[in-house]
Structure 1
């Protein structure tokens, strides 16, 4: 395998009963629907494996949300047990607080703001945008320092060079926010990165420098 720029893959968990109808789900621990599990299996077959989009032999670490829907999604990928996995609250979904389980129109009615937007207004009893942005930044820096920076500063061993990719398995809003912060954009630009249930994104770098983060591909889904 030749040298190439490190990548950060992001994978949104498969469909749940709430995501199917648009309910905001953060701390409620739902499992995948049968349809959601099948889509993840199709995505794994199409995109995970040697000479495919996500090559397990290049993954140096997986970070996954503690919620069941994310854990189930990761398990369905069938990655080798040798791939290190860290379950972290940094990848939990945007905490919706009092808006948990509500549709957007219901939140607009409850908040009294017809233009309520998660990216700008946050959630009472949950998280505000600046809190979400802060934990995303911590996780991005963790991934870069542990696996990516050494590729560019010349300190990576041959094995570290070959296994420098990272995979995040988590939720819609937190991963859309990750794309925005990867590019050093404000968190609210996460609205521009639609990510469907089971969707995959690829974040990397341009011109072989860690100082030029870029989006390589986005919202890839196996139908």
Structure 2
């Protein structure tokens, strides 16, 4: 049975201050490093066969903690990057609401913002889902851990499950260094076995 453990990266200073990261390359902070080490010890118990990660530092650093315990090399795929938020990258939620009063409420409600060069949720979902399908084909009847980002994880999970557009927003956000557990079964296809789980 194919198993994908979709793992959100550890905390960064921008996470802690509600600052939009998108594809800005922000490293883990001290809390995030500790989260990654703790989660890696837990994930190593699932005996992963492959480890993949977004090439952004916060995901790469998270995956490295697991690689050091398992002996596996991390394979990087830029399709696993977070959504590109255009001019919103680097701003806090409050700053976006102040500077973009027309677009911000629509984005909060619908996930997209008109008239701005933000990557759409549909495009994000397509690229992350394609990456996850390729990883699933690589790992075959085994387990792969995929270190990625909150928005990317949500859209990728929804894409693998075949959810229609808009349903992904009903899936709660992954906490830092938490996991969605997906398995590909012969008769029922992809199933979400657990969501937002992590070490106790």
| TM bracket, shorter-chain basis | 0.7 to 0.9
Kindly tell me the number of residue pairs found equivalent between the two proteins.
195
Q: Which of 112, 132, 139 lines up with 1:140 in the alignment?
A: 132
TM-score for both structures, normalised by structure 2: 0.86
State the match for 2:144 in structure 1: 166
Q: How many Å apart are 1:93 and its aligned residue?
A: 0.5
Cα distance change of structure 1 residues 123 and 31 upon mapping to structure 2, 3 Å threshold:
farther
Q: How many Å separate the matches in 2 of 1:123 and 1:179?
A: 27
TM-score, normalized by length of structure 1?
A: 0.78
In the TM superposition, residue 41 of structure 1 has moved relative to its aligned partner by 1.4
Question: What SS class does the counterpart of residue 195 from structure 2 fall into?
Answer: strand
Q: In the alignment, is the contact (CA less than 8 A) between 1:9 and 1:201 conserved in 2?
A: yes
Q: 1:84 to 1:204 in 2, by over 3 A?
A: same
Equivalent residues of 1:108, 1:115 under 8 A apart = no
CA distance in 2, matches of 1:130, 1:137: 10
Correspondence 1:214 to 2:191? yes
**Residue matched to 2:63:** 74
> 1:24 and 2:39 equivalent?
no
Q: Which residue of structure 2 aligns with residue 10 of structure 1?
A: 6
Q: Distance in 2 between matches of 1:123 and 1:101?
A: 19
The residue number in structure 2 matching 1:124 is 116
Partner of residue 157, structure 2: 179
In structure 1, runs of 5+ residues without a counterpart are 149-160
* 1:90-105 → structure 2 map (5 Å cutoff): 90-105=79-94
Counterpart secondary structure, 1:116:
helix
